[in-house]
A = this chain, B = another copy of it.
Amino acid sequence: MPTLRLALAQVNPTVGDLVGNAELVRAWTRRAADAGAQLVAFPEMVLTGYPVEDLVFRRSFVAASRDALHRLAAELAADGFGDLPVVVGYLDADGPPQVSSDAEPGRGARNAAAVLHGGTVAATYFKHHLPNYGVFDEDRYFVPGDTLTVVRVGGVDVALTICEDLWQAGGPFAVARQAGVGLVVNINGSPYELNKDDIRRPLVSRRAVEAGAAIAYVNMIGGQDELVFEGDSMVVAADGTLLARGPQFVEHLLVHDLDLPAAPDRGAPASGELADGMRVSRTRISDAGAAPAGPPALGGIIEPAADEAEVWQALVLGLRGYVDKNRFPSVVLGLSGGIDSAVVAALAVDALGPQRVVGVSLPSQHSSEHSREDAAELAKRTGLDYRVEPIQPMVDTFLANMSLSGVSVENLQARVRGVILMALSNQEGHLVLTTGNKSELAVGYSTLYGDSVGGYNPVKDVWKTLIWRLAKWRNADAASRDETPPIPENSIGKPPSAELSPGQLDSDTLPDYAVLDPILIGYVDGDLGRDGLVEAGHDPALIDRVLRLVDTAEYKRRQSAPGTKISMKAFGRDRRLPITNRWREHG
């Protein structure tokens, strides 16, 4: 039984940065080779970054991906790693565009994996199961592959698969069993979701058993636009046993020696078999050779972090990715003394360091003394760049020149704050962070073009009750390491207030968050209707109150974004370009 030393490189690519991503593959291949690896695998579309969205439709980008792949194969050989098979994800397309519909030409693009070996592209595989739900739109972008690619490496038959191929029954894993492979490599761009690892781990084991083969699962890490990739790469035996598991949220090379069944000697590799509607294509790369050199390599098993720690790391990584991949030098945010801005400030300092974070206190006549003190205290604890910009003179000038009353005056204050933060952004180059939590956003307890002004909101998908848990966890974690807890206890303990009118409290308008959040979670995250929420045990009158708030919030959001489309390429919902400045057509 041959032993293969696998190296799974959970790296952090950047969408559009073909040159930088290729460099990443070269650097980590060197580390894998230094560790004696005999097969290296990188994540899904590592060469282009993921997701590339409508960049798929730009032929020049597809061509650039293919060119970069062939160049990378040559460079790896020139680096001295021509004998080491390296699996990389990239963007491909086969043949000229096909017309799939009179309305829209099909483009034949492929979510692809290649085995680079001997300075060439030795084999390719096209993703078979294309996810098209949640954040995924792959039916829009790709044509599914119908061939399972099997490469013989060190005398072992290894099948290539990509991400969703693992999440759906049948297809590649079923064919892998019929093809009698010893190992399935599964390369991923699998976005982080709260507790997704609880589902993923048993799923990998189940698929291993179904395929009758070990699985080498490698996932990228890093923030890209709204998404966070968490890593969590692993090696699972054919009987489903977890053998090795990498950490979450950091780059890592998981190196593990795996005993694998020798491939039966078929003479010349047989191709063209048919199984379960898919073909099998076989390529011989290397026959059984020497066992791995030196002491055995064991990847070790790292258990996932607890909930709050996991979310905190995800938010830090997401924010850092957005800021750095877009090349913003620094961020600025308003500090109210409240819990939301305190948590965002602490996240930003963890992501970027205090010298890249500007916190601005923007007091009005309604700001309490404790709010100003709490903001200053936060600044002192975290060491961020602290400023004070009182808003009252500007608010007063608007009020002197217009006839405003009630909620218009409340919103005016939030909008003056937005103007100040954007002015600082224009003047000094910071990215503006917003701090509205998901509960607030759901019920519309925020000011459009006021609180919502900014380029990135690290907590937009975090319910208010989780915000508090995160704050307490972060402080306790600091204390456990004898560091200063970043968030003032007062910001955690005091009743939430927008401070836009005298003595205002959130509880004047909203139910307690401890009651509100479970209803919102059922309605927004769970797609439950009123009846479903009643069945779940919530008070019907309270349900109606909350759903009315959500509907009103959806109505308020109608004050932003749409316009009339008269083409398929308006700057609206269907213009789905990734947020990248790493792909350039021009010189």
Interface residues of A (CB under 8 A from B): 57-61, 100-104, 129, 131-135, 137, 139-140, 164, 167-169, 191-194, 199, 203, 223, 225-228, 311, 314-315, 318-319, 322, 326, 328, 389-390, 393-394, 396-398, 400-405, 407-408, 411-412, 415-416, 418-420, 422-427, 431-432, 434, 438, 441-442, 448-449, 453-462, 523-525, 527, 529-532, 543-544, 547-548, 551, 554-555, 557-574, 576-577, 579, 581, 584-587
Contact = CB atoms under 8 A, between A and B. Distances in A.
Given A139-B139, A164-B101, A527 B403 contact: no
A458 B554 contact: no
B564 A318 contact: yes
Contact of A558 (B318, B397, B402, B455): B455
Given A133-B103, A554-B577, A570-B461, A565 B226 contact: yes
B131 A101 contact: yes
A419 B393 contact: no
Contacts of A407: 426
A412 B432 CA distance: 15
A555 B581 contact: yes
A195 B566 CA distance: 10
Contacts of A559: 422, 425, 431-432, 454-455
B404 A393 contact: no
A400 B393 contact: yes
B423 A564 contact: no
Nearest to A460: B563
A305 to B, nearest CB: 13
A24 to B, nearest CB: 22
13 contacts: A61-B529, A102-B167, A102-B203, A103-B133, A104-B133, A193-B566, A311-B566, A397-B397, A422-B448, A455-B560, A459-B563, A523-B585, A543-B586
Given A135-B573, A389-B402, A564-B314, A408 B427 contact: yes
A319, A424, A558, A579 interface centre (most CB from chain B within 10 Å): A558
A103 B416 contact: no
Contacts of A402: 389, 420, 423-424
Given A547-B585, A571-B441, A228 B100 contact: no
Given A132-B140, A398-B420, 13 more contacts: A102-B167, A132-B132, A139-B140, A193-B566, A228-B566, A318-B564, A319-B564, A404-B426, A419-B419, A438-B570, A460-B570, A547-B585, A558-B581
Contacts of A226: 562-565, 570, 572-573
Contact of A461 (B132, B326, B389, B566): B566
B527 A59 contact: yes
A422 B434 contact: no
Nearest to A577: B554
B529 A60 contact: yes
A388 B427 CA distance: 29
A530 B60 contact: yes
A318 B527 CA distance: 29
A408 B429 CA distance: 11
A158 B416 CA distance: 62
A85 to B, nearest CB: 29
Contact of A412 (B139, B199, B423, B527): B423
Given A131-B103, A426-B407, A565 B191 contact: yes
A410 to B, nearest CB: 9
A182 to B, nearest CB: 24
A560 B421 CA distance: 13
A455 B556 CA distance: 9
